[in-house]
Amino acid sequence: MKKGILISSLLCAFCAFSIPQNSVVAQETSTLTPAELEKLYWERIQEKLSIYTDADVKFMEDMIVHHSQALVMSQFAPTNGASEEVQVLAARIINAQLDEINIMQRWLLDRGLDAPNVEYNGIESIITMLQPAKKDDGGHMSDPSMNKEDAMMMHGDMDMEGMDHSEHEGMDHEGMDHEGSDHRMHMDHSEHEGMDHDNMDHSMHMDHSNMVGMLSLEQLAELRDAQGPLFDELFLEYMIQHHTGAVVMVEELFSYDGAAQGVSTYKLASDIQVDQRTEIARMQQMLNERVVSSVEE
């Protein structure tokens, strides 16, 4: 019964933020059973999640791939004799961008869309398409991965402290049941734009190097093989290039009419833009210091 009251309260608050005739909705839902209220609640959640544009989807898909290459670049630092300063920077990049990759994958899966999951074999990328969970008989996604922060963003400043999120916190999309389908691709991204994903050969080899800011295979190989001070300089130079590309991708997203209107989408894109610009400035300073030091020597 307590759960039914909670769902009823959430639904009414949700309707207050999204439907002008909230008094009518409240009257209509007052006679529903807890199970019916829960079903209606999740239907409203799914309706809210369904508001997005093709530009939003493309941004999430491309940024997952883009961020994944930054992880590979950063993972070279400990084994290639990078300075302590560069290793700290690389570790920070890994932590931040891995978190954002998880957020973007969840964003896609929660909307019933496939989500790229990128792994690297050396410097060659392998993309597995994660698939969303099926809807259950209760009328909502069987595992929507809705955490407290997402719910708060969707409900404004409403108090969500009483809501039970135990089913969703700490969810690992890597372990999700994706219906046994393994869409494993060796990709590079020169042909990424305009691709027909439905008819795509999932074993095809592609090149990401034409995605803005992405390193070519030659640049990745050069970074992989560099050691010590040379690695530091190449890492900073190439990560500035890479981060600049991410900033451009955010600017392109914001340029599309109707894109990035969702609270979570706008917040994610804005955070990426601010973080990448801040790190670009820091890396440029680090690179300049190394150039000056080498000249003095």
Could you report the per-residue pLDDT of 197-209, keeping only the tens digit for each? 444 434 333 456 6
Kindly state the tokens that stand for 141: 């996604």
For 39, the domain range is: 2-49+134-154
d(CA 45, CA 29): 16
d(CA 158, CA 149): 11
Bridge partners, 124 (sequence order): 121
Same domain, yes or no: 106 and 28: no
Q: List helix spans (H) across 111-227.
A: 148-154, 217-225
Q: 279, 247 in Cβ contact below 8 A? A: no
Mean pLDDT of the chain: 75
d(CA 184, CA 127): 6
Q: 120, 127 in Cβ contact below 8 A? A: no
The pLDDT of residue 131 is: 95
Residues 6+ away with beta carbon under 8 Å from 286: 85, 86, 89, 236
Bridge partners, 141 (sequence order): 135
Tell me the pLDDT tens digit for each residue of 22-79: 444 555 666 778 888 888 877 777 666 668 999 999 999 999 999 999 999 999 999 9
Q: 12, 25 in Cβ contact below 8 A? A: yes
Same domain, yes or no: 189 and 146: no
Considering the domain boundaries, does residue 166 fall inside one?
no
Residues belonging to the chain: 297
Q: Is the dihedral of CA 36, 42, 48, 54 positive or negative?
A: negative
The 10 Å Cβ neighbour count of residue 108 is 22
Determine the 3-state secondary structure of 141 from DSSP: strand
Same domain, yes or no: 58 and 24: no
Considering the domain boundaries, does residue 170 fall inside one?
no
Determine what percent of the chain is predicted with pLDDT higher than 90. 53
Considering the domain boundaries, does residue 160 fall inside one?
no
Same domain, yes or no: 146 and 234: no
Same domain, yes or no: 91 and 231: yes
Tell me the pLDDT tens digit for each residue of 100-159: 999 999 999 999 999 999 999 999 999 999 999 875 544 334 344 444 344 334 333 333
Return the amino acid letter for 293.
S
Query: What's the number of domains the chain is made of?
Result: 2
